Amino acid sequence: MRLIFLGAPGSGKGTQAVYLAERHGIPQISTGDILRKAVQDGSELGRKAQSIMQSGGLVPDDIIIELVRERLVQPDAGNGFILDGFPRTIAQAESLDAMLGEPKAIEMVLFFDVSEAEIVKRLTSRRTCSQCGKNYNVLSDPPPATGICDQCGGKIIQREDDTEVTVRKRLQVYEEKTAPLKSFYSAQNKLHLLHAEQAVEHVRSALDALVARL
Ligand code: AP5
């Protein structure tokens, strides 16, 4: 199963990718998670990415493409994967096609459709474990009152790019650079729309029904 989860920031890609990856025993490959880990580790990649991520911009294509190329040759990606947050530009999508080649091509692209008002609400109320990355939401899935992650014991924080000003910048960048990927994958007959504004469980069922076609 080789899938892409496409959608605006906060559309629920990560929430559903964690579920589906576990269910099918394939990795969730989130470029955002890889970049945040690099920032935390203080690596060269992290130093290059940090200020761009904080401001809501996109990390340059060449850096991201190389990072994904290295990740996809890891043994756990041999039986399939979910790409969550990649590709985000036409150049990234074209490189991915070239990287995979026809026999291993992407089978399905799931587009998470959510309104802007709902996205702003979800992201400004999201809280995240600084250690394992587990997401909570003060409105729909509250974190423990202790502020400590129930999965790993890490400290729960608000991501620096989840303030309203940065969320609106991320949405603008999404419209400009990432939304054109809908036409790109529609032309390949791979795009499937998910009504992702419903409750988490309903989105999950719709997703299960779509991937059952593979
Ligand atoms: P990244 O981490 O990929 O951020 P994103 O795409 O903006 O996505 P998010 O993680 O914000 O949202 P999501 O869709 O996963 O939603 P979630 O499930 O968490 O990227 C961060 C940055 O890294 C980028 O801005 C960029 O700088 C850089 N970057 C990453 N990839 C890059 C690339 N390919 N190229 C260049 N730069 C790159 O849900 C959000 C909240 O809503 C949670 O609190 C959740 O609990 C809640 N929620 C989820 N589903 C529902 C539901 N159905 N109903 C109610 N609440 C829900």
φ and ψ at 2, to 5 degrees?
-120, 105
pLDDT digits (tens, 9 = 90+) for 182-210: 999 999 999 999 999 999 999 999 999 99
Question: Rounded to an integer, what distance in angstroms lies between the CA atom of residue 138 and that of residue 177?
Answer: 30
Q: pLDDT-derived band of residue 102, with 50, 70 and 90 as boundaries?
A: confident
Asked whether 106 lines ligand 1 (CB < 6 A), one says no
- Cα–Cα nearest to 81, from 107, 112, 113, 63: 107
Asked whether 126 lines ligand 1 (CB < 6 A), one says yes
- Work out which ligand 1 atom sits closest to the CA atom of 137: 44
Asked whether 159 lines ligand 1 (CB < 6 A), one says no
Domain ranges of the chain: 2-27+74-211
Report CA(89)–ligand 1 centroid distance (Å): 16
Please check whether residue 80 is in contact with residue 2, taking contact to mean a CB–CB distance below 8 angstroms: yes
Burial of 144 (0-12, 13-18, 19+ CB in 10 A): exposed
pTM: 0.96
Rounded to 5°, angle at Cα 27 from 213 and 197: 60
pLDDT digits (tens, 9 = 90+) for 36-51: 999 999 999 999 999 9
What is the predicted pLDDT for the residue at 103? 77
- Work out which ligand 1 atom sits closest to the CA atom of 197: 53
Question: Rounded to an integer, what distance in angstroms lies between the CA atom of residue 213 and that of residue 35?
Answer: 32
Question: Rounded to an integer, what distance in angstroms lies between the CA atom of residue 138 and that of residue 181?
Answer: 31
Residues with catalytic function: 13, 88, 126, 159, 170
CATH architecture of the region 2-27+74-211: 3-Layer(aba) Sandwich (3.40)
- Cα–Cα nearest to 186, from 111, 122, 81, 117: 111
